[in-house]
């Protein structure tokens, strides 16, 4: 089991040998790779970052920006689903990450979202609780150790 209470702070960046697949409900691939990185941070399930050449969508810059004290400024993307729905700010990247996270420059992370499916080694993930954090919950995550649900923001 992976216990997010034991994940480091500041977070750790690791390249992983897992197959990451994101696809729309109709089966159209959004991204697929075995060259992803994950970020492990205290009280968070892993957040996965995929190489830009694995993304099969036309991503357009969105206006949203957020700041992470460890990784730097995140810039977000918009894209359109196969059904024509515009999706805003559910994928992001670090165009100028801090030196510790330089390896994920331009890599893209996606929220697990009901409009598509995210898989790690064939396992369908669940989103991290709440609507702010982008971690992916797999069956090997100790769930009581994950922040994001009401009452956990200050952990």
* Beta carbons of 116 and 79 less than 8 angstroms apart: no
User: What percentage of the chain has pLDDT greater than the value 70?
Assistant: 98
* Fold of domain 4-145: 2.170.150
pTM score, whole prediction: 0.96
User: What percentage of the chain has pLDDT greater than the value 90?
Assistant: 93
3-state secondary structure at position 14: strand
pLDDT reported for residue 131: 83
pLDDT at 153 over 70: no
Q: For the chain, count helices (H), then strands (E).
A: 0, 13
Per-residue pLDDT reduced to its tens digit, 61-76: 999 999 999 999 999 9
Nearby residues of 86 by Cβ (< 8 Å), 6 or more positions away: 78, 79, 80
On average, the pLDDT of the chain sits at: 96
Per-residue pLDDT reduced to its tens digit, 39-58: 999 999 999 999 999 999 99
Angle at CA 77, nearest 5°, toward 70 and 46? 45
- Which residue ranges make up each domain of the chain? 4-145
């Amino acid at each position: 089991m992976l216990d997010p209470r034991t994940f480091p702070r500041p977070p750790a960046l690791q390249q992983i040998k897992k197959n990451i697949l994101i696809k729309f409900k109709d089966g159209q691939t959004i991204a697929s790779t075995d060259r992803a990185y994950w970020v492990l941070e205290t009280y968070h399930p892993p957040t996965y970052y995929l190489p830009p050449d694995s993304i099969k969508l036309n991503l357009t810059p969105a206006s949203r920006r957020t700041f992470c004290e460890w990784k730097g400024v995140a810039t977000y993307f918009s894209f359109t689903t196969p059904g024509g729905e515009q999706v805003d700010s559910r994928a992001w990247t670090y165009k100028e990450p801090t030196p510790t996270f330089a390896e994920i420059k331009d890599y893209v992370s996606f929220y697990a979202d009901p409009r598509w499916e995210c898989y790690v080694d064939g396992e369908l993930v669940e989103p991290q609780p709440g609507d702010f954090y982008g971690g992916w919950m797999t069956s090997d995550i100790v769930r009581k150790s994950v922040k994001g649900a009401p009452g956990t923001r200050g952990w």
